[in-house]
Structures are given as C-alpha cells and as structure tokens.
C-alpha cells in the first residue's frame, strides 16, 4: 500500500563547481563531516532517526521499469513529483531491497545513501512495515564506467572529477569509494561524483570480502585502508589515481590479475598498475604520485585540479 503520508527523507542539494571556476565560500555545511565508525555499528532505528527531520510524502514517488536486479536489491526508473507543483515531475533512479534482505543490509543501504548528504539531490523512503527506497538523480548519459566502455572516449586529463573531490576535501568529507562507477554524466556532459548506492549492485565484481563480512572496493583502496581501515582525503587521492587509470583504459578493471587477498602485499612491495597504452608520460606521472605509500607524499586535490586544468588546456591548444 503506497497511500498515506509515508515519509521520504529528502537530502539537501548542492552542485559541484565547474572545472577551473573559483570557489566562493558562501555557506557552511556542518552536517557533511563523515563519522569514521563502522556501518555495522549503526542500527536501522538510528539511521531513520538521523534523517527524520527532512521527510517528504511517499505519494510523490512513482515506480516504473526495473532497470537492474541484484542479489538483495532492485533499481527502478522512477518519477518524483514536485513538492509545490504536482503537475511537474522529474525522473530518478530508485533503489530498494528485496524481501530476503537482512536488517543489516537495509541499514547499510540507507547509511550509504546519506554519506554525501547535502551534496546532491537524494531522497530516502522509510515507511514503517515496508522496505525502504533510496531515490537518486536520473542522468540521461548514466554511469561513467559504462559510458567509457560503450563510447570509447578517454578524457582522463579532464579536471572535473578532481574539482568535485577538491570540493569534498575542503568540507572534510571522505568519499571512501571514488571510482568511475561512482561518477555519472548529466545532460550537459558534466561529470558528477556520487556515492555507491547504485554501484554495489551494478558492479558487484568490483567489491570483495576479505573475511570480515564487508564488501570493499579492494582494487581502488590505498594500502593504509587495506591494512588498518584508515580512510582520509589522502586515501581518496589514491583512489583518484586509479580512477584516472580507468578513464585512460576506457573502464578496464585495475589489478585484474591480482588476487584481492594479495593486494596489500602487492602494493607494499612497491608494485602498481602499468601505464596504459597511449597514456602520456606526464599524465601517468600524476597517477603515480597519487599512489605514494606515504599518505603525506600524495598531492592535494587542489594541486591536482591545477595540474589537470593546465594539462587539459595544453592538449586543447593542439586540437
């Protein structure tokens, strides 16, 4: 029964800056700091209470076609009615869990959907007695990883992703799962960073369990994250370097021949993914800096923005 005034939890919106544009600090974001506690330590009631103050009516949501079906979840194409004008609507992705999903899996889905709260349009529905739904922006061009594989367009030098990550870093938000699969392309062909609410279902082979009942993006993780579960802006920089590699290889999987259980030892021994064919030496040097073992030796995102902006402009001069 979808009638009544079941709550949908609306998450505040913000837009990442355009590449190269100056950032004007006009607003503080006190709710954006990400706690470092394990997702499994948070109860379903706590998650619901955390976002209860921003509920909207479930009557505004209509489900359409099933776009993807995973082991525990489904992703729909949906429609969200405008709050002030019901004659207006916008498309969205809707993720929900299947009946056999455990409370832990439901809690993790809701918690992950709130990780970037305040940074992009999202909604969550948590009506009592029914499985929750997570609503995410609908992007016509879809997921960046799929786009790369289908369109064969390598734009690793484009500074858009580094701009978005610099934006997060200044607000002390740690992403923890930056990858091409967690970026989308909007109607104006701008790349946007999103969380992993959809990608865990769309790309299950990108996540591995190392014996602790939690699937992690092992091939994108910094050594300190693999060894000590230590995440920071510096570990996001490491993942950014891997994301650049994905862009240059048109969505290939990094470290594809390495057993996930051997990744930490492989990295500790100094090995890294090879330079992609047709990747300029200067660009691969940027990637390599991101993979320094010492987090303090990795570049800052603002430095990466400047470097890639200049590199992008230099290449454009020859086109």
- Kindly report the three-state secondary structure assignment for every residue of the chain: CCCCCCEEEEECCCCCCCCCCCCCCCCCCHHHCCCCCCHHHCCHHHHHHHCHHHEEEHHHEEEEEEEEECCCEEEEEEEEECCCCCCCEEEEEEEEECCCCCHHHHHHHHHHHCCCCCCCCEEEECCCCCCCEEEEECCCCEEHHHHHHHHCCCCCCCCHHHHHHHHHHHCCCCCCCCCHHHEEECCCCCEEECCCCCHHHHCHHHCEECCCCCEECHHHCCHHHHHHCCCCHHHHHHHHHHHHHHHHCCCCCCCCCCCHHHHHHHHHCCCCCCCCCCCCHHHHHHHHHHCCCCHHHCCCHHHHHHHHHHHHHHHHCCC
> Which residue of the set 38, 177, 259, 281 is catalytic?
177
Domain ranges of the chain: 7-137, 142-316
Annotated catalytic, 177? yes
pLDDT at residue 116, as a whole number: 56
pLDDT at residue 240, as a whole number: 97
pLDDT at residue 9, as a whole number: 33
Q: Which residues of the chain have pLDDT under 50?
A: 1-40, 120-121, 318-319
> For 132-191, how does the pLDDT look when each residue is reduced to its tens digit (9 = 90+)?
777 777 776 677 887 787 775 556 556 889 999 998 899 888 999 999 998 888 777 788
Check whether domain 7-137 has CATH 3.30.465.10, yes or no: no
pTM of the model: 0.73
Architecture of domain 142-316: Orthogonal Bundle (1.10)
């Amino acid at each position: 029964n979808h009638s009544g005034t079941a709550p949908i939890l609306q998450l505040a919106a913000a837009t990442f800056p355009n590449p190269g544009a100056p950032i004007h600090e006009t607003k503080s974001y006190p709710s954006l700091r990400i706690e470092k506690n394990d997702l499994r330590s948070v109860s379903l009631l706590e998650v619901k209470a955390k976002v209860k103050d921003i509920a909207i009516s479930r009557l505004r949501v209509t489900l359409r076609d099933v776009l993807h079906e995973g082991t525990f979840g489904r992703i729909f194409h949906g429609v969200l009615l405008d709050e002030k004008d019901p004659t207006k609507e916008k498309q969205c992705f809707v993720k929900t869990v299947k009946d056999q999903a455990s409370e832990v899996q439901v809690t993790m889905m809701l918690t992950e959907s709130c990780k970037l709260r305040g940074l992009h349009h999202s909604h969550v529905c948590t009506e009592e007695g029914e499985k929750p739904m997570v609503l995410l922006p609908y992007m016509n061009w879809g997921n960046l990883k799929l786009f790369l594989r289908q369109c064969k367009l390598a734009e690793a030098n484009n500074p858009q992703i580094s701009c978005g990550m610099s934006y997060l870093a200044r607000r002390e938000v740690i992403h923890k799962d930056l990858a091409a699969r967690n970026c989308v392309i909007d109607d104006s062909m701008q790349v946007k960073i999103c969380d992993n609410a959809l990608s865990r279902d769309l790309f299950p082979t990108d996540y591995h369990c190392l014996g602790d009942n939690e699937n992690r993006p092992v091939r994108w993780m910094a050594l300190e994250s693999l060894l000590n579960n230590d995440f920071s802006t510096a570990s996001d920089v490491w993942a950014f370097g891997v994301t650049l590699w994905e862009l240059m290889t048109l969505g290939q999987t990094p470290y594809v021949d390495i057993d996930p259980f051997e990744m930490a030892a492989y990295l500790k021994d100094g090995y890294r993914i090879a330079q992609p064919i047709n990747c300029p030496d200067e660009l691969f040097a940027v990637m390599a800096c991101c993979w320094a073992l010492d987090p303090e030796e990795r570049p800052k995102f603002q430095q990466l923005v400047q470097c890639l902006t200049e590199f992008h402009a230099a290449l454009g001069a020859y086109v």
